[in-house]
């Protein structure tokens, strides 16, 4: 194993001097304990101590963001925020994502010196690619399977989330494939409920998709939610593959990185990484971790697509945060000649023709999935018009034509803009 290092960037808030606070982080997560112990020699510290690489002060803070923090016993106790970069030799934990987590997160956010501590980013040496496979399909492989090039993959979700039988689900899929969508995903609440068992649902859905493909030549990609125990997930993958399916979906926070690694090693299909539960880690600015850091770990473990929310979404995430996540999905994790592990960002939540132009402007790419629920199903002229309106909106965005102008040429787009707020 080389002497390459892992770099983690944190936002911190502390009433302790910044150098001292950063040293506490490095100590706690490498050689240190609260009391220096006999075995902790200078040689050991030199080889294994985490290193504070950079401290950027971000200004004073009036009140602690989180409860429970301490104050220095003497001296100045001005509370400050800062950006801190800490590094570790990979030989501390080896090329192991689960053990990397214990190092870069671990007990850090419980340390008393901090009234806020959040992981902002992580940079891993390419050596991790000797142990993890990264995305198998990524952007290009997903496009090939979906048969969609040079524009976003237009997607939608099966709703209601629970309560549909396998046949009712397939009926809804029939409407959607006939409407012309490229991609359909299960809801994250429906994996293998007793009223809609996984195998029956996916068999019924794939019969519809396969029949449509036979007729039209277009095989719609269906992300079948196989979230479950490990043996279940592997068996469900095999079932989807046998039915001619082209995608599987798993809830990342529900299954954990080791299960994802195992699923990736087994899978012959792209993995749609659903991020539900993300708000627990991501929503507070004072704790948890950014999606920038989070998605890198999961890309390495093998996801091919991930949700990034959407511009003007129905949740509480800001547009800047959405776009930062989406751009990161398309940014190489490792320098060439190593694979960059780029994946498809999936825009969703309250998306309609109105968001095409601002999304394209901010992302600078059509390499994305653009998923709309109501934006397709609730189009006044029906779902097919809903899909056409989205395609027209993206065409206009790429051509640099204002959407209102484009709408004058296309009644579906005009109706979509009228129907979906302003």
Residues in 374-403 that interact with its own copies by CB under 8 A: 374, 377-378
List binders of its own copies among 180-219 (CB under 8 A).
Answer: 188-189, 191-195
List binders of its own copies among 316-335 (CB under 8 A).
Answer: 316-318
Residue pair 91/61 in contact by the 8 Å Cβ criterion? no
Residue number, 227 or 295, with CB nearest to its own copies: 227
Residue number, 64 or 147, with CB nearest to its own copies: 64
Distance, in Å, from the CA atom of 374 to the CA atom of 387, rounded to the nearest integer, reads 11
What distances in angstroms separate CA 73 from CA 21, 77, 81, 177, one per listed residue? 14, 9, 19, 66
Residue number, 19 or 167, with CB nearest to its own copies: 167
Please count the residues of this chain forming the interface with its own copies, following the rule CB under 8 A: 97
Residue number, 142 or 227, with CB nearest to its own copies: 227
Residue pair 261/97 in contact by the 8 Å Cβ criterion? yes
List binders of its own copies among 1-60 (CB under 8 A).
Answer: 1, 29-35, 37-40, 44-45, 47-48
Distance, in Å, from the CA atom of 403 to the CA atom of 234, rounded to the nearest integer, reads 44
List binders of its own copies among 51-110 (CB under 8 A).
Answer: 66-70, 91-94, 96-99, 101-103, 105-110
CB of 117 to its own copies, least distance (A): 8
Residue 378: both structure tokens together: 């609730």
List binders of its own copies among 119-158 (CB under 8 A).
Answer: none
- Long-range Cβ contacts of 70-74 (<8 Å, 24+ apart): 70/15, 70/112, 70/113, 71/15, 72/15, 72/16, 72/17, 72/20
Which one of 22, 146, 220, 257 is in contact with its own copies (CB under 8 A)? 257
Residue number, 91 or 136, with CB nearest to its own copies: 91
Residue number, 92 or 359, with CB nearest to its own copies: 92
- Long-range Cβ contacts of 372-375 (<8 Å, 24+ apart): 372/154, 372/155, 372/156, 372/348, 373/156, 373/157, 373/159, 373/348, 374/350, 374/420, 375/350, 375/351, 375/416, 375/420
Beta bridge partners of 223: 185, 247
258 lines the binding site for its own copies (CB under 8 A): yes
CB of 298 to its own copies, least distance (A): 12
Strand order in the sheet with 80-89: 51-60, 80-89, 5-14, 114-123
CB of 402 to its own copies, least distance (A): 27
Residue number, 42 or 60, with CB nearest to its own copies: 42
């Amino acid at each position: 194993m080389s002497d390459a290092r892992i770099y983690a960037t944190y936002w911190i808030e502390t009433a302790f001097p910044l150098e001292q606070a950063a040293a506490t982080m490095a100590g706690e997560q490498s050689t240190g304990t609260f009391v220096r112990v006999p075995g902790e020699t200078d040689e050991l510290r030199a080889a294994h101590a985490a290193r504070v690489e950079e401290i950027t002060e971000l200004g004073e803070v009036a009140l602690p963001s989180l409860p429970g923090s301490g104050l220095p016993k003497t001296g100045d106790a001005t509370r400050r925020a800062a950006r801190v970069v800490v590094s570790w030799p990979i030989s501390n934990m080896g090329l192991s994502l689960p053990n990397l987590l214990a190092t870069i997160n671990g007990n850090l956010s419980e340390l008393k010196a901090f009234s806020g501590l959040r992981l902002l980013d992580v940079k891993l040496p390419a050596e991790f690619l000797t142990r993890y496979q990264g995305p198998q399909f990524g952007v290009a492989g997903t496009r090939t399977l979906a048969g969609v090039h040079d524009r976003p993959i237009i997607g939608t979700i099966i709703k209601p989330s629970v309560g549909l039988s396998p046949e009712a689900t397939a009926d809804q899929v029939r409407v959607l494939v006939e409407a012309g969508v490229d991609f359909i995903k299960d809801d994250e609440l429906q994996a293998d409920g007793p009223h809609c068992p996984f195998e029956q649902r996916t068999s019924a859905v794939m019969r519809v998709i396969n029949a449509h493909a036979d007729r039209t030549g277009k095989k719609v990609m269906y992300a079948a939610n196989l979230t479950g125990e490990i043996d279940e997930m592997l068996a469900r993958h095999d079932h989807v593959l046998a039915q001619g399916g082209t995608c599987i979906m798993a809830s990342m926070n529900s299954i954990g990185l080791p299960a994802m690694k195992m699923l990736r090693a087994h899978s012959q299909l792209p993995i749609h990484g659903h991020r539900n539960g993300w708000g627990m880690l991501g929503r507070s600015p004072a704790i948890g971790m950014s999606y920038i850091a989070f998605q890198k770990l999961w890309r390495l473990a093998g996801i091919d697509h991930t949700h990034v929310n959407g511009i003007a979404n129905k949740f509480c995430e800001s547009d800047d945060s959405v776009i930062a996540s989406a751009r990161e999905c398309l940014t190489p994790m490792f320098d060439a000649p190593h694979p960059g592990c780029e994946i498809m960002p999936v825009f969703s939540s309250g998306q309609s023709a109105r968001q095409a132009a601002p999304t394209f402007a901010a992302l600078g790419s059509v390499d994305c999935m653009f998923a709309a629920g109501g934006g397709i199903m609730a189009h006044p002229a029906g779902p097919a018009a809903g899909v056409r309106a989205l395609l027209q909106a993206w065409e206009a965005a790429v051509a640099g034509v204002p959407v209102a102008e484009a709408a004058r040429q296309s009644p579906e787009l005009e109706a979509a803009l009228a129907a979906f707020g302003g």
